[in-house]
Amino acid sequence: MTLTPEQRAEIDAARNATHATLRPTVAALEEYLFKPVPVLDHGFVRVVDYMGDDSAVVQAARVSYGRGTRKALEDEGLIRYLMRHYHSTPFEMCEIKFHVKLPIFVARQWIRHRTANVNEYSARYSILDKDFYLPAPEQLAVQSADNKQGRGAVLDAATAAHVLRLLRADADQTYAHYEEMLGEDIGLARELARMNLTLNTYTQWYWKTDLHNLFHFLRLRADAHAQYEIRVYAEAMLDMVQAWVPLSYKAFCDYRLGAVTFSAKMVEILRRMLAGEAVAQAGSGLSKREWAEFMAALGR
Protein backbone atom coordinates (compact mmCIF):
# COMPACT_ATOMS: atom_id res chain seq x y z
CA MET A 1 0.00 0.00 0.00
CA THR A 2 1.37 3.41 -1.01
CA LEU A 3 0.55 6.49 1.05
CA THR A 4 2.39 9.78 0.81
CA PRO A 5 3.61 11.50 3.98
CA GLU A 6 0.90 14.12 3.43
CA GLN A 7 -1.80 11.44 3.25
CA ARG A 8 -0.52 9.77 6.42
CA ALA A 9 -0.49 13.10 8.23
CA GLU A 10 -4.08 13.75 7.09
CA ILE A 11 -5.19 10.33 8.38
CA ASP A 12 -3.41 10.84 11.71
CA ALA A 13 -5.03 14.24 12.14
CA ALA A 14 -8.47 12.80 11.45
CA ARG A 15 -7.97 9.97 13.95
CA ASN A 16 -6.67 12.31 16.63
CA ALA A 17 -9.68 14.62 16.36
CA THR A 18 -12.66 13.83 18.61
CA HIS A 19 -16.25 15.04 18.37
CA ALA A 20 -19.00 14.94 20.95
CA THR A 21 -22.21 13.44 19.60
CA LEU A 22 -25.62 12.29 20.77
CA ARG A 23 -26.03 9.81 17.93
CA PRO A 24 -25.26 6.09 18.40
CA THR A 25 -21.67 5.07 17.71
CA VAL A 26 -20.08 1.65 17.44
CA ALA A 27 -16.82 1.23 19.36
CA ALA A 28 -15.61 -1.67 17.20
CA LEU A 29 -16.08 0.31 13.98
CA GLU A 30 -14.57 3.43 15.51
CA GLU A 31 -11.33 1.44 15.67
CA TYR A 32 -11.48 1.09 11.87
CA LEU A 33 -12.40 4.73 11.27
CA PHE A 34 -9.98 6.48 8.88
CA LYS A 35 -7.42 3.64 9.03
CA PRO A 36 -6.50 2.33 5.56
CA VAL A 37 -6.65 -1.46 5.36
CA PRO A 38 -4.15 -2.68 2.72
CA VAL A 39 -5.59 -4.53 -0.29
CA LEU A 40 -3.57 -5.87 -3.26
CA ASP A 41 -0.13 -4.29 -3.73
CA HIS A 42 -0.93 -0.56 -3.57
CA GLY A 43 -4.64 -0.44 -2.76
CA PHE A 44 -6.60 0.09 0.43
CA VAL A 45 -10.11 0.51 1.79
CA ARG A 46 -10.97 2.63 4.81
CA VAL A 47 -14.13 3.73 6.58
CA VAL A 48 -14.58 7.50 6.46
CA ASP A 49 -17.99 7.85 8.10
CA TYR A 50 -21.09 5.88 9.05
CA MET A 51 -24.61 6.34 10.35
CA GLY A 52 -26.68 3.90 12.39
CA ASP A 53 -26.09 0.46 13.88
CA ASP A 54 -28.08 -2.71 14.52
CA SER A 55 -30.47 -0.76 16.74
CA ALA A 56 -31.27 1.58 13.82
CA VAL A 57 -32.48 -1.42 11.81
CA VAL A 58 -34.70 -2.50 14.70
CA GLN A 59 -35.90 1.05 15.33
CA ALA A 60 -36.93 1.47 11.69
CA ALA A 61 -38.75 -1.86 11.65
CA ARG A 62 -40.72 -1.01 14.78
CA VAL A 63 -40.95 2.72 13.99
CA SER A 64 -40.03 3.43 17.60
CA TYR A 65 -38.84 6.72 19.11
CA GLY A 66 -35.61 5.65 20.73
CA ARG A 67 -33.22 2.75 20.99
CA GLY A 68 -35.88 0.72 22.81
CA THR A 69 -35.88 -1.42 25.92
CA ARG A 70 -36.32 -4.85 24.37
CA LYS A 71 -33.73 -7.52 24.99
CA ALA A 72 -30.86 -8.03 22.54
CA LEU A 73 -32.19 -11.52 21.81
CA GLU A 74 -35.49 -10.03 20.64
CA ASP A 75 -33.63 -7.52 18.45
CA GLU A 76 -31.59 -10.31 16.89
CA GLY A 77 -34.73 -12.32 16.23
CA LEU A 78 -36.34 -9.37 14.46
CA ILE A 79 -33.24 -8.68 12.35
CA ARG A 80 -33.09 -12.34 11.31
CA TYR A 81 -36.79 -12.25 10.42
CA LEU A 82 -36.27 -9.16 8.27
CA MET A 83 -33.31 -10.73 6.47
CA ARG A 84 -35.02 -14.06 6.04
CA HIS A 85 -38.14 -12.53 4.50
CA TYR A 86 -36.34 -9.93 2.34
CA HIS A 87 -37.69 -6.91 4.20
CA SER A 88 -34.93 -4.59 3.02
CA THR A 89 -36.11 -1.10 3.99
CA PRO A 90 -34.97 -1.20 7.66
CA PHE A 91 -31.44 -2.05 6.51
CA GLU A 92 -31.45 1.04 4.30
CA MET A 93 -31.52 3.18 7.45
CA CYS A 94 -27.81 2.47 8.05
CA GLU A 95 -25.21 4.08 5.78
CA ILE A 96 -21.44 3.89 5.46
CA LYS A 97 -18.84 5.77 3.42
CA PHE A 98 -15.61 4.18 2.23
CA HIS A 99 -12.46 5.63 0.70
CA VAL A 100 -11.04 3.08 -1.73
CA LYS A 101 -7.86 2.95 -3.78
CA LEU A 102 -8.18 0.34 -6.51
CA PRO A 103 -7.00 -0.53 -10.04
CA ILE A 104 -9.09 1.02 -12.82
CA PHE A 105 -10.21 -2.35 -14.18
CA VAL A 106 -11.53 -3.29 -10.71
CA ALA A 107 -13.32 0.06 -10.49
CA ARG A 108 -15.08 -0.67 -13.78
CA GLN A 109 -16.46 -3.90 -12.31
CA TRP A 110 -17.35 -2.20 -9.03
CA ILE A 111 -19.25 0.67 -10.65
CA ARG A 112 -21.75 -1.84 -12.06
CA HIS A 113 -23.34 -1.64 -8.59
CA ARG A 114 -25.32 1.49 -9.30
CA THR A 115 -26.96 1.82 -5.86
CA ALA A 116 -24.28 3.97 -4.25
CA ASN A 117 -23.02 7.54 -4.29
CA VAL A 118 -19.58 7.71 -5.90
CA ASN A 119 -17.04 10.47 -6.36
CA GLU A 120 -13.87 9.38 -8.16
CA TYR A 121 -10.48 11.05 -8.26
CA SER A 122 -10.48 13.11 -11.45
CA ALA A 123 -7.55 12.81 -13.82
CA ARG A 124 -8.97 15.84 -15.64
CA TYR A 125 -7.89 18.01 -12.72
CA SER A 126 -5.13 16.05 -11.03
CA ILE A 127 -2.19 13.85 -12.00
CA LEU A 128 -2.56 10.17 -11.19
CA ASP A 129 0.03 8.53 -8.95
CA LYS A 130 2.55 6.17 -10.51
CA ASP A 131 0.99 3.12 -8.89
CA PHE A 132 0.16 0.01 -10.90
CA TYR A 133 -1.32 -3.32 -9.89
CA LEU A 134 1.01 -6.22 -10.63
CA PRO A 135 -0.51 -9.59 -9.66
CA ALA A 136 1.30 -12.10 -7.50
CA PRO A 137 2.55 -14.99 -9.68
CA GLU A 138 0.00 -17.37 -8.15
CA GLN A 139 -2.80 -15.13 -9.48
CA LEU A 140 -1.64 -15.43 -13.09
CA ALA A 141 -3.64 -18.18 -14.77
CA VAL A 142 -4.83 -19.22 -18.22
CA GLN A 143 -8.36 -18.67 -19.45
CA SER A 144 -10.78 -21.24 -18.08
CA ALA A 145 -11.92 -23.78 -20.66
CA ASP A 146 -15.50 -23.94 -19.31
CA ASN A 147 -16.02 -20.46 -17.84
CA LYS A 148 -15.85 -17.46 -20.16
CA GLN A 149 -15.16 -15.09 -17.26
CA GLY A 150 -12.91 -17.22 -15.10
CA ARG A 151 -9.39 -18.56 -14.69
CA GLY A 152 -7.95 -22.00 -15.20
CA ALA A 153 -4.57 -23.46 -14.29
CA VAL A 154 -1.87 -21.20 -12.85
CA LEU A 155 0.96 -20.30 -15.22
CA ASP A 156 4.32 -21.95 -14.76
CA ALA A 157 6.98 -19.82 -13.07
CA ALA A 158 8.84 -18.87 -16.27
CA THR A 159 5.68 -17.81 -18.12
CA ALA A 160 4.39 -15.90 -15.10
CA ALA A 161 7.69 -14.01 -14.85
CA HIS A 162 7.43 -13.12 -18.55
CA VAL A 163 3.86 -11.85 -18.14
CA LEU A 164 4.91 -9.70 -15.17
CA ARG A 165 7.77 -8.22 -17.22
CA LEU A 166 5.28 -7.32 -19.96
CA LEU A 167 2.83 -5.76 -17.51
CA ARG A 168 5.53 -3.77 -15.75
CA ALA A 169 7.12 -2.59 -19.02
CA ASP A 170 3.79 -1.48 -20.48
CA ALA A 171 2.82 0.37 -17.31
CA ASP A 172 6.21 2.10 -17.01
CA GLN A 173 6.22 3.11 -20.67
CA THR A 174 2.69 4.49 -20.76
CA TYR A 175 3.23 6.43 -17.54
CA ALA A 176 6.48 7.86 -18.92
CA HIS A 177 4.59 8.98 -22.03
CA TYR A 178 1.84 10.37 -19.76
CA GLU A 179 4.42 12.49 -17.93
CA GLU A 180 6.00 13.55 -21.22
CA MET A 181 2.69 14.72 -22.64
CA LEU A 182 1.96 16.66 -19.44
CA GLY A 183 5.42 18.25 -19.44
CA GLU A 184 6.29 21.77 -20.48
CA ASP A 185 7.48 20.77 -23.96
CA ILE A 186 4.04 19.49 -24.93
CA GLY A 187 1.70 20.67 -22.17
CA LEU A 188 -1.17 18.45 -23.28
CA ALA A 189 -4.41 18.85 -21.34
CA ARG A 190 -4.70 16.40 -18.44
CA GLU A 191 -8.05 15.16 -19.72
CA LEU A 192 -6.30 14.00 -22.90
CA ALA A 193 -2.95 12.84 -21.52
CA ARG A 194 -4.66 10.29 -19.24
CA MET A 195 -6.14 8.25 -22.10
CA ASN A 196 -3.07 6.08 -22.75
CA LEU A 197 -2.71 4.83 -19.16
CA THR A 198 -3.09 1.11 -18.59
CA LEU A 199 -6.11 -0.36 -16.79
CA ASN A 200 -3.94 -1.56 -13.92
CA THR A 201 -3.28 2.08 -12.95
CA TYR A 202 -4.73 2.85 -9.52
CA THR A 203 -7.59 5.29 -9.06
CA GLN A 204 -9.39 6.36 -5.88
CA TRP A 205 -12.95 7.16 -4.91
CA TYR A 206 -15.37 7.79 -2.09
CA TRP A 207 -18.17 5.21 -2.14
CA LYS A 208 -21.21 5.70 0.08
CA THR A 209 -24.05 3.21 0.32
CA ASP A 210 -26.72 1.91 2.66
CA LEU A 211 -26.48 -1.43 4.45
CA HIS A 212 -29.04 -3.20 2.25
CA ASN A 213 -27.17 -2.39 -0.94
CA LEU A 214 -23.82 -3.04 0.70
CA PHE A 215 -25.02 -6.54 1.56
CA HIS A 216 -26.01 -7.05 -2.09
CA PHE A 217 -22.54 -5.94 -3.22
CA LEU A 218 -20.84 -8.23 -0.71
CA ARG A 219 -23.02 -11.24 -1.57
CA LEU A 220 -21.81 -11.03 -5.17
CA ARG A 221 -18.24 -9.84 -4.72
CA ALA A 222 -17.23 -11.83 -1.63
CA ASP A 223 -18.39 -14.99 -3.37
CA ALA A 224 -15.74 -17.56 -4.32
CA HIS A 225 -16.71 -17.13 -7.99
CA ALA A 226 -15.99 -13.38 -8.01
CA GLN A 227 -12.77 -12.16 -9.59
CA TYR A 228 -9.94 -12.26 -7.06
CA GLU A 229 -8.99 -8.61 -7.47
CA ILE A 230 -12.41 -7.35 -6.40
CA ARG A 231 -13.09 -10.19 -3.96
CA VAL A 232 -10.20 -9.16 -1.69
CA TYR A 233 -11.75 -5.70 -1.31
CA ALA A 234 -15.11 -7.26 -0.44
CA GLU A 235 -13.45 -9.55 2.12
CA ALA A 236 -11.78 -6.58 3.81
CA MET A 237 -15.14 -4.80 3.94
CA LEU A 238 -16.81 -7.87 5.47
CA ASP A 239 -14.63 -7.47 8.56
CA MET A 240 -15.67 -3.82 8.84
CA VAL A 241 -19.36 -4.64 8.48
CA GLN A 242 -19.06 -7.34 11.16
CA ALA A 243 -17.59 -4.75 13.53
CA TRP A 244 -20.31 -2.23 12.62
CA VAL A 245 -23.52 -4.30 12.71
CA PRO A 246 -22.72 -7.73 14.18
CA LEU A 247 -26.34 -8.93 14.42
CA SER A 248 -27.18 -7.89 10.85
CA TYR A 249 -23.88 -9.33 9.62
CA LYS A 250 -24.63 -12.70 11.22
CA ALA A 251 -28.07 -12.80 9.61
CA PHE A 252 -26.54 -11.83 6.27
CA CYS A 253 -24.01 -14.67 6.48
CA ASP A 254 -26.74 -17.18 7.33
CA TYR A 255 -29.40 -16.13 4.83
CA ARG A 256 -27.39 -14.62 1.96
CA LEU A 257 -23.64 -15.20 1.90
CA GLY A 258 -23.70 -18.82 3.05
CA ALA A 259 -27.10 -19.74 1.65
CA VAL A 260 -28.32 -21.28 -1.61
CA THR A 261 -31.58 -20.69 -3.45
CA PHE A 262 -33.60 -23.41 -5.12
CA SER A 263 -36.01 -22.82 -7.99
CA ALA A 264 -39.57 -24.11 -7.75
CA LYS A 265 -38.58 -26.99 -10.04
CA MET A 266 -35.62 -27.86 -7.79
CA VAL A 267 -37.83 -27.88 -4.70
CA GLU A 268 -40.22 -30.24 -6.49
CA ILE A 269 -37.33 -32.58 -7.38
CA LEU A 270 -36.00 -32.44 -3.81
CA ARG A 271 -39.40 -33.48 -2.46
CA ARG A 272 -39.44 -36.40 -4.88
CA MET A 273 -35.97 -37.43 -3.72
CA LEU A 274 -36.96 -37.21 -0.05
CA ALA A 275 -39.94 -39.45 -0.87
CA GLY A 276 -37.49 -42.08 -2.08
CA GLU A 277 -37.78 -41.54 -5.82
CA ALA A 278 -34.64 -41.81 -7.97
CA VAL A 279 -34.53 -38.68 -10.14
CA ALA A 280 -32.04 -38.27 -13.00
CA GLN A 281 -31.14 -35.13 -14.90
CA ALA A 282 -32.69 -36.41 -18.13
CA GLY A 283 -36.17 -36.51 -16.64
CA SER A 284 -35.84 -33.64 -14.21
CA GLY A 285 -36.73 -30.73 -16.45
CA LEU A 286 -33.45 -29.01 -15.50
CA SER A 287 -30.66 -28.17 -17.91
CA LYS A 288 -27.32 -29.90 -17.43
CA ARG A 289 -25.88 -26.75 -15.87
CA GLU A 290 -28.85 -26.29 -13.52
CA TRP A 291 -28.63 -29.95 -12.53
CA ALA A 292 -24.91 -29.65 -11.80
CA GLU A 293 -25.52 -26.58 -9.63
CA PHE A 294 -28.38 -28.36 -7.86
CA MET A 295 -26.24 -31.42 -7.13
CA ALA A 296 -23.35 -29.24 -5.94
CA ALA A 297 -25.69 -27.46 -3.52
CA LEU A 298 -26.80 -30.84 -2.18
CA GLY A 299 -23.20 -32.00 -1.84
CA ARG A 300 -23.65 -34.76 -4.42
Looking at 221, 256, 271, 289, which residue is catalytic? 221
Count how many Cα atoms sit within 13 Å of the Cα of residue 167 in the half-sphere of its side chain: 17
221 is catalytic: yes
Q: Mind spelling out the 3-state secondary structure of the chain?
A: CCCCHHHHHHHHHHHHCCCCCCCCCCHHHHCCECCCEEECCCEEEEEEEEECCHHHHHHHHHCCCCCCCCCHHHHHHHHHHHHHCCCCHHHHHCEEEEEEEEEHHHHHHHCCCCCCEEEECCCCCCCCCCCECCCCHHHCEEECCCCCCCEEEECCHHHHHHHHHHHHHHHHHHHHHHHHHHCCCCCCCHHHHHHHCCCCEEEEEEEEEEHHHHHHHHHHHCCCCCCHHHHHHHHHHHHHHHHHCHHHHHHHHHHHHCCCCCCHHHHHHHHHHHCCCCCCHHHCCCCHHHHHHHHHHCCC
Tell me which residues are annotated as active site.
221
